[in-house]
Amino acid sequence: MYPQVSTVGESMVVFTPVTEGGLEGSSCFQRGLAGAESNVSIGLARLGHSVRWIGRVGTDEFGRYILGTLQREGVDVSNAIADAAHQTGVYFKEISETGEANVRYYRRNSAASYLSVDNLTGCLTGQYLFVTGITPAISHSAGSAIDYALHDARTQNMTIVFDPNIRLGLWENTSLARETLLQIAARSDIVLPGVSEGNFLLGTSDPAEIARSLRAMGAERVVVKLGRVGAYYEDQQEVGFSPGFAVKQLDAVGAGDAFAAGLLSGLLDGLFLGNAVRRACAMGAVAVTAVGDCEGLPTRNELERFIAEHE
Ligand code: KDG
């Protein structure tokens, strides 16, 4: 099936302790697949959409695991690059009792950090391009690839969806992070910040003000994620708030990616923005009920059942 969505970014292997003691004390870890853009891809594929993930992994066991898993999920990896000279990135994650994560990255000089403009030439296709603020943070070369992707998507009339996904630990400094992410937001059609990301970028925690500022910069639609509370959304036609769903949160990592997948899915299905945001909130809620960055992403049937049970 021809991809409806293209996305580009770094995927990694994540290890999470399965015994007491966190990263320091635990001797047993569970392996999983991580990476915001591949999480979104899996979310979309499970909802029945066609999606292409473009990224660069090592030719090592972890790279093979990532590509094999994505393929089994139905994600198009035909343009992914296997890099024999560099390793696949890895990260470790311990989760607190409230489901918040403490992460430790081992991704410097990873295969993905060598992502380049050449790797993307002729690869982007579909109605939507989804990008995050993680990719420009990992290296200059990956940042140039994102710059090219935005340009190419614009030329092809694709709708650009941007999740800032701020990871300050990956940036050289905060002003470079702010400047780069605001530039990407201004070149995007749909921007999906969390409220604290809005505050970092624009100096306000007021969702309406965040949306207004991003729209004044050029974004057509803005959806501000308010965690378990729900989400605020705004475009030319609709302004509103969609409440969150009450669930027991086991692992918050990946909630924003599930949200993005739900939103894209709703828009691909032709829903109005408010209804797409409701689907996004439901996706985020289901995703946090399982441990793992992408393991909790529901199929379409599971999502519909969840929404019906919580209506
Ligand atoms: O949004 C979840 C991702 O952040 C996670 O899967 C790992 O991509 C990742 C990152 O860079 O933190």
Q: What angle do CA 230, 253, 224 make, to 5 degrees?
A: 30
For residue 40, count CB atoms less than 10 angstroms from its CB and return exposed for 0-12, middle for 13-18, buried for 19 or more.
buried
Mean pLDDT in residue range 39-67: 98
Residue type (1 letter), 96: S
pLDDT score recorded for residue 99: 72
Q: At what angle do helices 195-202 and 174-186 cross, to 10 degrees?
A: 100
The atom number, within ligand 1, closest to the CA of 170 reads: 11
Give the CA distances from residue 196 to residues 199, 205, 246, in Å, rounded to whole numbers and listed in that order. 5, 7, 21
Residues 219-265 have pLDDT tens digits of 999 999 999 999 999 999 999 999 999 999 999 999 999 999 999 99
Task: Note whether 43 and 294 are within 8 A (CB).
Answer: yes
List ligand 1's pocket residues with C-beta within 6 A: 34-36, 39, 134, 165, 167, 253-254, 256-257, 293
Quick count: other Cβ atoms within 10 Å of Cβ 182?
16
pLDDT score recorded for residue 91: 97
Distance 13 CA to ligand 1 centre (A): 10
pTM: 0.97
Q: What angle do CA 259, 180, 187 make, to 5 degrees?
A: 65
Determine which residue's CA is closest to atom 4 belonging to ligand 1: 36
Quick count: other Cβ atoms within 10 Å of Cβ 25?
10
CA distance 39 to 297: 8
Distance 59 CA to ligand 1 centre (A): 21
Coil vs helix vs strand at 209: helix
Among 259, 198, 182, residue whose Cα is nearest residue 228: 259
The atom number, within ligand 1, closest to the CA of 255 reads: 1
Long-range residue pairs from 206-215, CB within 8 A, at least 24 positions apart, any chain = 207/232, 208/232, 208/234, 208/239, 214/185
Mean pLDDT in residue range 174-181: 98
> Active-site positions?
257
Spell out a b/e string for 236-255, using b for 16 or more CB atoms within 10 Å of the CB, else e. Answer: eeeeebbebbebebbbbbbb
Mean pLDDT in residue range 274-289: 98
pLDDT score recorded for residue 230: 98
Distance 34 CA to ligand 1 centre (A): 6
Determine which residue's CA is closest to atom 8 belonging to ligand 1: 35
pLDDT score recorded for residue 101: 87
Coil vs helix vs strand at 281: helix
Predicted confidence band of residue 21 (pLDDT cuts 50, 70, 90): confident
CA distance 157 to 160: 9
Average pLDDT, the chain: 96
